[in-house]
Amino acid sequence: MNGLGEPRGPDFRSGTLPGHQQGPPPQTPVADGRVAAAPRGRLLVTAALVAALTGGAAGVAGARLIEGSEPAPAALPRVPAAQPPGQGQGQGRTPAQGLSATAAQVLPSVVSVETRRGSGSGFVIDGSGHVLTNAHVVGRGSTATVVLNDGRRLGATVVGEDEDEDLAVLRVGDASGLTPARLGRSSELAVGDQVLAIGSPLGLSGTVTAGIVSALDREVGLGGSSRRTAVQTDASINPGNSGGPLVNARGEVVGVNTAIATSRGGGNIGIGFAIPIDRAAPIAESIIRN
C-alpha cells in the first residue's frame, strides 16, 4: 500500500525478568519496551508503542500497570445499564451473528479522518455533527476531511483538542444523515469481555476486528509528557485506527483506539490501547462547551 507511511516508535533498552537468567541475545535488533504486569514481577515486552496513525510518526512511551479511578461520565448521551443475558441486542443469535449485528449497528457512526498530516479514524458522538478522534490525528491543523461510511466526503473544522489526553473534536458542517454512536461505560468492562475495533487501518475504511479486553487501567504515555490509563485489547489495531471506537458486544463505545505495541517491523502484535470512554466523553463535552 504505497503512500500510507510506516509507523515508527522510540527505541527502548532491553531488560530481564527479575529472578530469571537472561536468555540468548536476539539474532536481529529489536525495539524493547517495558510493561509492568502485577506486583509479583515485571514482564518484558519486546516492542515499542506507536500511535496508530497512518502516515504519522508520533511515538508514545512504554506501558505499565497502575491503579486509579476514572472521572465521572459525561453528559453526552449514554446508554442505560447493561441488560441481563438473553435480552436486547443479539438475543437468539449465535455469537457470530451477534458480532455481525453489532458491526452493522456501529459502522454508520464511524468515519475516516483525513488531514495534511495523515489519516485516522473517528466516530460521531451527537446529532450536531461532532466527531471524536485523537489529537495526534489532526495535529495542530484547523480543518479536516471526514469520510462517512457511505463514501460521502464532508469538510470539518477542529473545535478543539486536549493534547495531554490525545483527544480532539471535529464538527462537520452538514450534520444531516449522520448517525451518532451509542456511548457505553468503560467502568463496566471486565477482562475477557468481547470487543470490536472499528476504523480505517492503512486507509481501509470500515474495517472491523474482534478481540477481548486484555487488561484494565494499563498506564501508557499519550500525546503529552504525562501518562494516562488505557484499556488494553488484543483486537487488531493498526496505523489508521487512531480515533476509532472500541465497542462492546452491545454496540456501545467503550474506548477510543489510540496506540499499539509493535515490533520494529511495525504492525499489530496483539497489544493495543484505547482511551476509556468514561474519561474521553467528559473531555469531549468540555471541548464542545468551551
Q: How confident is the model at residue 158 (pLDDT cuts 50, 70, 90)?
A: very high
Cα gap 289→18, rounded to integer Å? 49
Q: Under a CB-based contact definition with an 8 Å cutoff, are residues 120 and 134 in contact?
A: yes
Per the rule left: phi > 0, alpha: psi between -120 and 50, beta: everything else, 146 is beta
Q: Under a CB-based contact definition with an 8 Å cutoff, are residues 33 and 47 in contact?
A: yes
Can you name the residues that pair with 123 across neighbouring β-strands? 110, 132
Q: Which of 252, 242, 251 is nearest to 122 (CA)?
A: 242
Read off the pLDDT of residues 205-260 as tens digits, 9 standing for 90 and up. 999 999 999 999 999 887 666 789 999 999 999 999 999 999 999 999 999 999 99
Does position 18 have pLDDT exceeding 50, yes or no? no
Side chain identity at residue 168, one-letter code: A
> What count of other Cβ atoms lies within 10 Å of the Cβ of residue 153?
10
Burial class (CB in 10 A: 0-12, 13-18, 19+), 100: middle
Q: Which of 205, 198, 138, 206 is nearest to 171 (CA)?
A: 138
Is 130 in the active site?
no
The pLDDT, as a whole number, for residue 175 is 87
Is 278 in the active site?
no
Read off the pLDDT of residues 89-139 as tens digits, 9 standing for 90 and up. 434 444 556 899 999 999 999 999 999 888 999 999 999 999 999 999 999
Rounded percentage of the chain residues whose pLDDT exceeds 70:
64
Query: What would the mean pLDDT of 61-76 be, rounded to a whole number?
Result: 38
Does position 51 have pLDDT exceeding 50, yes or no? yes
Q: Who has greater pLDDT, 263 or 7?
A: 263
Does position 68 have pLDDT exceeding 60, yes or no? no
Instruction: Catalytic residue, from 136, 214, 234, 236: name it.
Output: 136
Query: What would the mean pLDDT of 152-158 be, rounded to a whole number?
Result: 96
Read off the pLDDT of residues 20-34 as tens digits, 9 standing for 90 and up. 344 444 443 333 333
Instruction: Catalytic residue, from 32, 126, 162, 166: name it.
Output: 166
Does position 191 have pLDDT exceeding 90, yes or no? yes
Q: Which of 126, 127, 109, 117 is nearest to 208 (CA)?
A: 109
**H or E element at residue 155:** strand 153-162
What pTM, to 2 d.p., does this model score? Answer: 0.71
For the ranges 43-52, 59-68, 76-85, 204-213, the one whose mean pLDDT is highest: 204-213
Indicate the average pLDDT of the chain.
Answer: 76
Can you spell out the DSSP letters for 93-160?
--HHHHHHHHHHHHGGGEEEEE-SS-EEEEEE-STT-EEEE-HHHHTT-SEEEEE-TTS-EEEEEEEE
Residues 6+ apart with CB under 8 A from 67: 217
Does position 49 have pLDDT exceeding 90, yes or no? no
Q: Under a CB-based contact definition with an 8 Å cutoff, are residues 31 and 10 in contact?
A: yes
**H or E element at residue 289:** helix 277-289
Question: Which cell numbers hold the place of 39?
Answer: 506486583
Is 20 in the active site?
no
